[in-house]
Amino acid sequence: MPKRPVHPPAPREVVSVGARPRGPLSAGDLVQLIDAKGNKYTITLADDLIFHSHRGQLAHNDMIGKSEGIIINSDRAISYQVLRPGLDDYVLSMPRGATVVYPKDAARIVGLADIGEGSRILEAGVGSGALTCSLLRGSGITGSVVSIERREDFAEIATENVCRWFGGFPASWSLKIADLVELKPELGGYDSVILDMLAPWECLEVVESALRPGGALVAYVATTTQLSRLVETLRVRNVWTEPRAEESLLRTWHLDGLSVRPDHKMNGHTGFLVAARLMNGPSLDRKRRPAPGAYGVDYHGPGGENYLEGTTPLSVAEKV
């Protein structure tokens, strides 16, 4: 027997990114089933369907019309809590093309980019759409998000995930399949630019034309090589505030009576965030005290005496 999909195709009708659903559960709603061991299953309710797992079957009709927060039992007497998922839970369960931006990083991106109601956001590298959901929700019904993705397969997965979360295609969202370097965005038309790509330093000229003065750039990179290259390039261009680099480590805690300790598992390194704001002219020559040798003969990055345009420190080292 073929495996039944837990989600039908997401609706594509244009919708507002307003308040999340509330009230009784209905067909088309996302729900999360949570068993006593904490296992979570995210499904879309539909009339007359059955949810199958190795722990039994659950009829969708037993949940439709009921309030969330109830407990239902499978035909094998396994109990499940029934709740609408939060965005954090949905992101971790969504189908993936590219790796998703984890909720801990998405929250920091929204904060570092100063995103709020009415924000105009340019996102390059939509991936699986996880961060896009946070950007759309943060910018509200009066804001706008323009997402750029080079790969058509990633764009389709992202569209499906975003439309499933919002119950349709958000009216404030525009998705383009293109390369940001070749794109000509509206001059000064954005409050924030978010980059999630392999070589964000190659797009800085376009970003500088797209951002308004004082606008925020936040880049998500995976490795220290990318981190260093991006920060040093921002400094050399001399139109950005001093870049801020950080990573977020999330640790939950175990709590049972007198047994209070950190959990054995944690969300460790997922990526680095680099944030800076665009100046309206040259930036301030900030006084820094690099460690001795930081920009010595072995340094081949931007701003160094041995820098070769179009190469990375690693590729230069390999040629020596």
- Average pLDDT across the chain, whole number: 90
Which residue, among 215, 211, 178, 212, has the nearest Cα to 197 in the 3D structure?
A: 178
DSSP assignment string, 97-119: SSPPPPHHHHHHHHHHTT--TT-
Structure-block tokens of residue 182: 């070749």
- What residues contact 318, with CB distance under 8 A and at least 6 apart? none
Residue 68 has pLDDT above 70, yes or no: yes
CA distance 162 to 320: 47
Pick 258 or 20 by higher pLDDT.
258
Q: What is the pLDDT of residue 309?
A: 62
End-to-end Cα, the chain, rounded Å: 59
**Given this chain, do its domains 21-83 and 90-288 carry the same CATH topology?**
no
Least confident of 96-100, 193-197, 272-276: 96-100
- Sequence-ordered alpha helix ranges (H) in the chain: 87-93, 103-112, 130-139, 152-166, 204-210, 224-237, 313-319
**E strand or H helix that includes residue 278:** none
Cα of 206 vs its chain's centroid, Å: 21
**pLDDT reading at 310 higher than 80:** no
pLDDT at 134 exceeding the cut of 80: yes
Torsion of CA 65, 18, 275, 127, to 10 degrees: 60
The band of 307, judged by pLDDT with boundaries at 50, 70 and 90, is low
> Which CATH number is correct for 21-83, 3.10.330.20, 3.40.350.10, 3.40.50.300, 3.40.50.720?
3.10.330.20
Nearest-CA neighbor of 106 among 271, 242, 254? 271
- Region 215-229: what's the mean pLDDT? 97
Q: In what order do the strands lie in the sheet with 40-44?
A: 40-44, 30-34, 79-83, 70-73
Q: Is 311 exposed, middle or buried (0-12, 13-18, 19+ CB in 10 A)?
A: middle
Say which DSSP state 280 is in: S
The lowest-confidence range among 26-35, 168-177, 302-311 is: 302-311
For residues 150-177, give the mean pLDDT: 96
What digits encode the pLDDT tens for the residues 259-289? 999 999 888 899 999 999 999 999 888 777 7
- Give the position of tokens 């029934």: 82
Segment 244-248 long-range contacts (CB within 8 Å, at least 24 positions apart): 244/112, 244/274, 244/275, 244/276, 245/272, 245/273, 245/274, 246/108, 246/272, 246/273, 246/275, 247/271, 247/272, 247/273, 248/104, 248/105, 248/108, 248/273
Structure tokens at 150: 């080079």
Query: What distance in Å separates the CA atoms of residue 57 and residue 43, rounded to the nearest whole number?
Result: 13
pTM of model > 0.85: yes
pLDDT at 64 over 50: yes
What is the pLDDT at residue 318?
Answer: 36
How far apart CA 235 and CA 237 sit, in angstroms, is 6
Sketch the domain layout of the chain as residue ranges: 21-83, 90-288
> Is the confidence at residue 113, as pLDDT, over 70?
yes
Identity at 218, one-letter amino acid code: V
- pLDDT of 261: 96
Q: For 3-12, 238-247, 268-277, which range has the lowest pLDDT when averaged over its residues?
A: 3-12
Q: Report pLDDT for 291.
A: 78
Residue 298: CB partners within 8 Å, gap ≥ 6? Answer: none
Q: Using an 8 Å Cβ cutoff, are 210 and 190 in contact? A: yes
The pair of three-digit structure tokens given for residue 201, joined into one six-digit string: 């330093």
Share of the chain above pLDDT 70, in %: 93
**Token pair 């340019």: residue:** 122
Contact 90, 234 (CB under 8 A): no
As a whole number of angstroms, the distance between CA 155 and CA 97 comes to: 9
Q: Is the pLDDT of residue 220 over 90?
A: yes
Domain 90-288 CATH assignment equals 3.40.50.150: yes
Q: Which of 138, 117, 124 is nearest to 210 (CA)?
A: 124
124-149: average pLDDT: 96
pLDDT (0 to 100) of residue 315: 36
pLDDT over threshold 60, residue 69:
yes
Residue 207 pLDDT > 70, yes or no?
A: yes
